[in-house]
Structure 1
Amino acid sequence: MTTYRNPVLPADWSDPDVIRVGEDFYLTASSFSRVPGLPLLHSRDLVNWSFVGHALDRLEPAEDFAEPRHDRGVWAPALRHHDGRFWIFWGDPDHGVYQVNAPDIRGPWTDPWLLKAGKGLIDPCPLWDEDGRAYLVHGWAFSRAGIKNLLTGHAMSPDGRELLDAGRVVVDGDALPGWFTLEGPKVYRRDGWYWIFAPAGSVETGWQGAFRSRGFFGPYEERVVLAQGDTDVNGPHQGAWVTDPGGGDWFLHFQQRGAFGRVVHLQPMAWDADGWPVLGDRGQPVAEHPLPLPGGEPCAPATDDDFPDGTFGPQWSWLANPASGWVLPGDGDGLRLACRPTVAAADLRRLSSVLVQRLPVGPRTVEVELRLDDPAPGAKAGLAVVGDAFSWIGLERDPGDGGGVRLVHRFGDLVAERERDAAYARPAPEGRARLRVEVTADARCRFSAAVSPDAEFRPSGQVFAATPWRWVGAQLGLFAAAPPRPGEEPGGAAVFRGFRVT
């Protein structure tokens, strides 16, 4: 392979930031209220990526994230390497600017440190200057702060634990004709210039801007350096400038793709005679381009999981801070999710203990094996697609006197308070099923199942149109739940095996 095609990460890696340390590239992205958060990827060529892990074990304040808060939490992190440590700064729009740091990308990472408290503080990025001084730039969320289209700069202590001034506006988008929703700044220092790369014009229809100044606090001059133009890459938005070991410059950014979320593109980056960056093909996104660094091993972030030793891989996160007992010990035959008693079991958007991963750009086929081991009437488990609307197929213990297990297909829409049955339910006498969802290129999902090992898959219900979830793409999910139990009655489990995405 001598060329790559965009997107290089065809799934929801929102607000990516990338750095290079030696010959290794590292990437992080927004994780919002999913836990663990701050996912970390590694690459040697900017095209092929694999999981390293996560930098955030729990969200703080912990009590605020005991339930799903999918439009809150970790927004637009900035990843940096300074003084022998890795640093990640992010904005929580309801609490302020946090940072964590570690001596190695695999950790151990420090506990979150609240650097600046306040509402609407988003998209922070630090800069350690050549003279030892440190700075921070951030944007604003109108929904919390009542202001937007501004980038604010601060002097910061070199240890990243204190801001040294009240801050001042370094770029005023309202003073730039035609600019609106300026956000997502990433700040750099090169050849005597301070550079801020920041998008504007909204996620779905905007453009990528570059700003330069001889001083961190400005004044800055601006230029649009990447826009949709004649391509089908709408709103090229918010990303990272990185230089490869040979001195070549590159820019990674996202594109909003509906239910698939914010997929990541890689653009070549050159410089014009006036010293301004030229991204893509003369300022338009490229669909295909020669590899930055030929010879890399083809790979992609993991999706499949055999759940070795009853544990799940780094591609999975919970919808909220997890509690003990959500995963039960077993004999190594798969992942045992506890059928947690909960009144929220009818609406997967409110159920914290849904284990999710990104819905990859289709066409894809997703399969998993399920066994329901909970004897309680109404206990259920399944394979789901969760967004503003959700749908799942799985097994449920009959609430009637018989107590048998049946295959069911349920869904809930934007306004439904309870889930509804799809086309049919049928017996699953062995309490087992193979579950499948086929995802098309336009995020249409066809559910099907087989209730015995030698049975063929039978489709269930109408095609379900996956939907995004505010800032988040739709999620593939595994879950187990049950109605509240009387007294101290022990709960059971659902066992998942052989999760595959092909």
Structure 2
Amino acid sequence: MKKIFKLIFACLLLPVSDAALSQAQNPLIFADVPDMAMIRVGENYYMSSTTMHMNPGLPIMKSADLVNWKIINYAYDMLADTPELNLTDGKNTYSKGTWASSLRFHQGIYYVSTFSQTTGETYIFKTKDIEKGNWEKASFKPAYHDSSLFFDDDGKTYLIHNAHTLKIVELNDDLTGVRPGVPEKIFIENASAPAGEIMSLGAEGSQLFKVKGKYYLFNICAPTGKGRTVVIHRADSINGPWEGRVALQDRGIAQGGLIDTPDGRWFAYLFRDYGSVGRIPYLVPVKWEDGWPILGENGMAPDKLDLPASTGLIPNLVASDEFDRKNGQAALPLVWQWNHNPDNKLWSVHERKGYLRLKTGRIDTSFVQARNTLTQRTIGPASTGSTLLDVSKMKEGDFAGLSAFQKNFGQVGVKVENGKKWIVMVNAGSDQPVEVQQVPLSQNHVYLKIDCDFTDTRDVATFAYSLDGKAWSPIGDTLKMTYAIPHFMGYRFGLFNYATKNTGGYVDFDWFRIKYKNK
């Protein structure tokens, strides 16, 4: 029997013979990584993205092959200390925080710019070491919407911003504000025009590039009834005149820019709205004809790419966590983000070795207003998150557990009510949270699990619990997951604990584990 087992195991380790599996495939990343900006420095690629109200914020990722990405940094730990960002005074900043960033490398320094509707400011972060960070921050008003940072060859630096009617401002030498005495100008009067006259979304998401002396501006727009579209404008001077054309109109795959490889190939990086998992990245081959980048194959984003195969998103963009920290290790791996700014007094991975402790410090009546929900991305086409929870120190009115987190969330957890513990499932799929089922709990440990299925935008989550980690029982009903614009983010797995009656209780999460199902 042992010989048979060894033979089976050896076969599992053999390379897959199917040539298709040796190629990269679209979507490039089946998870919420929207508003990408990308650069290549030598042999390495770097990418920034949007995570809005999550903290730390503005993730920086690295790849050696354009396919397999790893989170290496964040531009900021906390954007600002305000009630909206702190989830205090009944305020929040869902769907805001920071949006579409612009990533650049110029004269040995890495820059990433972004803007915030929450603070009304534009931010420019810079560092000499993108992997170790130590970002220096500059901020100034106003918040330049979807701005593209651009260093021109004559030493001038610009931000191109706005929607439909695009505008340009010149920055001062240290990039701490707009250059005095240089007025803002119209960059392109009607940037949506190449795609038609009627727009459900005017041209935005600007990203400006210079290739062989010509300027190329990428935008996304949405002609009514035709879906999201890539529009490219071209000029010989940054002052124009500009000529534009539709570059791609395929399944809503749009917004992004250009990246080249060391061997001279070109790709466009874009994303696609894909239901409740979020906005997922695509790579599209680019050929150059008559000075224009031609996107896709026969006007389509191909399913397969002439690039190395993906090795999976685990553990580089999402990861299981045993919460067992060695000396010198970060308290939390980079895959984790807090919902809004955390209260750092109320969580720890050191108070009990090998556990994440979440403590209550105030009374909350709403899950979406509760602080210190710890999150990471779900994965498509299907993924499972599970955890083991010690509930022995909960107090009356406390609720703790695991969530499929978005505006229309679902929860499976433990609630203390009338001195008794109950396993409960809450479904907020119809906007208002409904406690669907209660099961009495007579022990201090419980296993919780959520299965998410995004296959062909099926977008459903189911919930289960176990008393021994072996036999699982379903609880509640199916959550129909919805990509709700008020949160503007794909669903996330979230670990939570909040008080509704008394403060001072706490729970200990033994581990969180995520599995990926490639259907």
| TM-score clears 0.5 | yes
Q: Is the 8 A contact 1:210 1:223 kept in 2?
A: yes
For each residue in 1:69-118, what CA deviation from the matched residue of structure 2 results, as whole angstroms up to 9, or x when unmatched? 12111110011111211111112234032111111113434354223425
Matched with 2:7 is: none
Matched with 1:349 is: 368
Matched with 1:14 is: 34
| Aligned-residue offset at 1:175 | 7.4
What is the DSSP-based 3-state SS (H/G/I as helix, E as strand, rest coil) of the residue aligned with 1:360? coil
Matched with 1:406 is: 422
Q: Which runs of 4+ in 1 moved over 6 A?
A: 295-298
For each residue in 1:212-240, what CA deviation from the matched residue of structure 2 results, as whole angstroms up to 9, or x when unmatched? 11221222110111111xxxxx2112112
For 1:98 and 1:414, how far apart are their aligned partners in 2?
Answer: 37
Residue in structure 2 matching 1:223, options 245, 255, 263: 245
Matched with 1:182 is: 203
What is the DSSP-based 3-state SS (H/G/I as helix, E as strand, rest coil) of the residue aligned with 2:368? helix
| Aligned-residue offset at 1:448 | 0.8
Q: Is the 8 A contact 2:346 2:359 kept in 1?
A: yes
* Letter of the structure 1 residue corresponding to residue 150 of structure 2: L
For 1:13 and 1:289, how far apart are their aligned partners in 2?
Answer: 19
For 2:152 and 2:505, how far apart are their aligned partners in 1?
Answer: 56
Q: Is the 8 A contact 1:79 1:86 kept in 2?
A: yes
| Aligned-residue offset at 1:410 | 1.4
Residue in structure 1 matching 2:395, options 366, 376, 398: 376
For each residue in 1:384-416, what CA deviation from the matched residue of structure 2 results, as whole angstroms up to 9, or x when unmatched? 01222111001122x21xx33221111224542
| Aligned-residue offset at 1:57 | 0.6
Residue in structure 2 matching 1:457, options 462, 472, 493: 472
Q: Is the 8 A contact 1:249 1:268 kept in 2?
A: yes
Residue in structure 1 matching 2:459, options 443, 458, 463: 443
Q: Is 1:114 matched up with 2:139? A: yes
Q: Give 5+ residue unaligned stretches, structure 1.
A: 140-147, 229-233
Matched with 1:144 is: none
* Letter of the structure 2 residue corresponding to residue 188 of structure 1: F
Matched with 2:275 is: 258
Q: Is 1:152 matched up with 2:143? A: no
What is the DSSP-based 3-state SS (H/G/I as helix, E as strand, rest coil) of the residue aligned with 1:259? helix
Residues 175, 257 of structure 1: CA spacing in aligned structure 2 closer, same or farther, 3 A cutoff? closer
What is the DSSP-based 3-state SS (H/G/I as helix, E as strand, rest coil) of the residue aligned with 2:203? coil
Q: Is 1:66 matched up with 2:81? A: no
Matched with 1:497 is: 511
Tell me which moved more, 405-414 or 207-216.
Answer: 405-414
Aligned length: 472
Q: Pairwise mapping of residues 293-332 of structure 1 onto structure 2 (< 5 A)?
A: 294=308, 300-309=316-325, 311-328=331-348, 329-332=350-353
* Letter of the structure 2 residue corresponding to residue 17 of structure 1: A
TM-score, length of structure 2 as denominator length? 0.86
Matched with 2:14 is: none
What is the DSSP-based 3-state SS (H/G/I as helix, E as strand, rest coil) of the residue aligned with 2:145? strand
Residue in structure 2 matching 1:473, options 483, 490, 501: 490
| Aligned-residue offset at 1:465 | 0.8
Q: Is 1:98 matched up with 2:116? A: no
Matched with 1:209 is: 231
For 1:295 and 1:281, how far apart are their aligned partners in 2?
Answer: 19
What is the DSSP-based 3-state SS (H/G/I as helix, E as strand, rest coil) of the residue aligned with 2:84? helix
Residues 75, 276 of structure 1: CA spacing in aligned structure 2 closer, same or farther, 3 A cutoff? same
| Aligned-residue offset at 1:166 | 2.4
For each residue in 1:12-61, what CA deviation from the matched residue of structure 2 results, as whole angstroms up to 9, or x when unmatched? 11111111111111111111111100111110111111121211110225
Q: Is the 8 A contact 1:411 1:420 kept in 2?
A: yes
Residues 491, 462 of structure 1: CA spacing in aligned structure 2 closer, same or farther, 3 A cutoff? closer
Tell me which moved more, 185-194 or 362-371.
Answer: 362-371
Residue in structure 2 matching 1:168, options 171, 185, 190: 185
For each residue in 1:419-440, what CA deviation from the matched residue of structure 2 results, as whole angstroms up to 9, or x when unmatched? 3211x32222222111111122
Residues 96, 381 of structure 1: CA spacing in aligned structure 2 closer, same or farther, 3 A cutoff? same
Residue in structure 2 matching 1:135, options 158, 177, 181: 158
TM-score, length of structure 1 as denominator length? 0.89
Residues 430, 190 of structure 1: CA spacing in aligned structure 2 closer, same or farther, 3 A cutoff? same
For 1:253 and 1:491, how far apart are their aligned partners in 2?
Answer: 45
Tell me which moved more, 491-500 or 460-469.
Answer: 491-500
Tell me which moved more, 258-267 or 210-219.
Answer: 210-219
RMSD over aligned Cα, in angstroms? 2.2
For 1:453 and 1:264, how far apart are their aligned partners in 2?
Answer: 35
